[in-house]
Amino acid sequence: MSSKKLNIGLIGYGFMGRAHSNAYLKVNKFFDLGYEPVLKAACARKKEKLEPFAKNWGWESIETDWRKLIERDDIDVIDIGCPNNLHHDIAIAAAQAGKMVLCEKPLAMNAAEGLAMTEAVEQAGVPNMVWFNYRRVPAISLAKQLIDEGRLGRVFHYRAKYLQDWTISTDVPQGGECLWRLDVDVAGSGVTGDLLAHSIDTALWLIGGIDKVTAMTETFVKERALQDEPDVRKPVGIDDACAFLARFKNGALATFESTRYARGRKNQNTFEVNGERGSIYFDLEDAHQLQYYDNRLDDHVHGWQTILVTDAEHPYMDKWWVPGCVIGYEHTFINALADFLESLDTGEPVRPGFRDALATQRVCDAVLKSAQTESWEMAECPETGT
């Protein structure tokens, strides 16, 4: 297929800057698409760090002010891969300039910001996507397929965990590169927006809208030094840990737990769904597998089966290697990007768009509010999956 060029302007050269750059470089090598991303310009404030990044990944030019990037006529897509407190202003300016907008998760610092961003992309009529990349783990896409095929029947329970352990030391500072996650003024929240946003997005996609939540949060380390000014200490305003109960609109019950204080857990993102006819279980640390229990089989062969999600019949896998050869974390971004590029050809909006991510943001807000009020809070989700 001959490809139309799509000029990308990427903001941020960190973790996601690398993951997205890799996706832009690889996507047309594996997917047959009508559009081909061009790595037109990378943007961040620190020129001395941006230049080697741009050279390494093949970005054609650099900008040190995101406003200048948005003003450029030769940019079609603004890709937001910088900290959460910048998403709102950049996304709205980009939409008003008529650019397509790809935004990292969480959509925003809070739902009010997320709503303004959603209205901006919708009013401008520009294609938009939020990088909830875990939907593009083939095993999670397969879980969605099994649920949609009715193999689980009526769903009773959803059980999600997202556990890490990297902030246990009181010596970890807050603010600055990577560690902006610990600074509430930049991150908006702690594990709720950073980790549970992923779990909530997956849950809304698989099960449907959440009706209400009741939550508890804790900040175990109350004060941390600033990364960029080690002599200055500042109170910690983020939630280090969060657990909440939820009721889905379809009547299913859920538990969600997240922390950065689960010693030994590096990035354990799991969920289990229990339905009338069967169950499924997923763990990101075994991302190429989906556990499936089918109660419709004869009694004497009941048991959990492990599906190795590498066959050509599995989501996305016909684009990758031969059966039995697993793909990894970076491929989820390539799969997501392929879906976005395909949507430009089909005209069918890619999911999750800003409006879908707004539903997740609303659940996050309700969770944080509930932790304060110590009562149930309404989640304001749409009825259906996002």
Ligand X SMILES: NC(=O)c1ccc[n+]([C@@H]2O[C@H](COP(=O)([O-])OP(=O)(O)OC[C@H]3O[C@@H](n4cnc5c(N)ncnc54)[C@H](O)[C@@H]3O)[C@@H](O)[C@H]2O)c1
Which C-beta is closer to ligand X: that of 135 or that of 362? 135
CB atoms within 10 A of CB 198: 22
183-202 positions binding ligand X, by CB under 6 A: 194
Interface with ligand X includes 133 (CB under 6 A)? Answer: yes
| Selected range binding ligand X among 7-15, 138-146, 155-163, 320-328, rule: CB under 6 A | 7-15
| Selected range binding ligand X among 5-13, 270-278, 293-301, 317-325, rule: CB under 6 A | 5-13
Which C-beta is closer to ligand X: that of 214 or that of 335? 335
Least distance to ligand X from the beta carbon of 15, Å?
3
Interface with ligand X includes 15 (CB under 6 A)? Answer: yes
Interface with ligand X includes 83 (CB under 6 A)? Answer: yes
Which C-beta is closer to ligand X: that of 23 or that of 146? 23
Given 9, 81, 173, 352, the residue binding ligand X (CB under 6 A): 81
Least distance to ligand X from the beta carbon of 367, Å?
17
Q: Give me the 49-68 binding string for ligand X, x by CB under 6 A, dash otherwise.
A: -----------------x--
Given 10, 11, 182, 290, the residue binding ligand X (CB under 6 A): 11
Interface with ligand X includes 335 (CB under 6 A)? Answer: no
What is the spatial distance between Cα 380 and Cα 142, in angstroms, rounded to a whole number?
27
Least distance to ligand X from the beta carbon of 162, Å?
11
Interface with ligand X includes 43 (CB under 6 A)? Answer: yes
Least distance to ligand X from the beta carbon of 23, Å?
11
Least distance to ligand X from the beta carbon of 82, Å?
3
Interface with ligand X includes 114 (CB under 6 A)? Answer: no
Q: Give me the 161-180 binding string for ligand X, x by CB under 6 A, dash otherwise.
A: ----------------xx-x
**Residues at the interface with ligand X (CB under 6 A):** 11-17, 43-46, 66, 81-84, 86, 104-105, 131, 133, 177-178, 180, 194
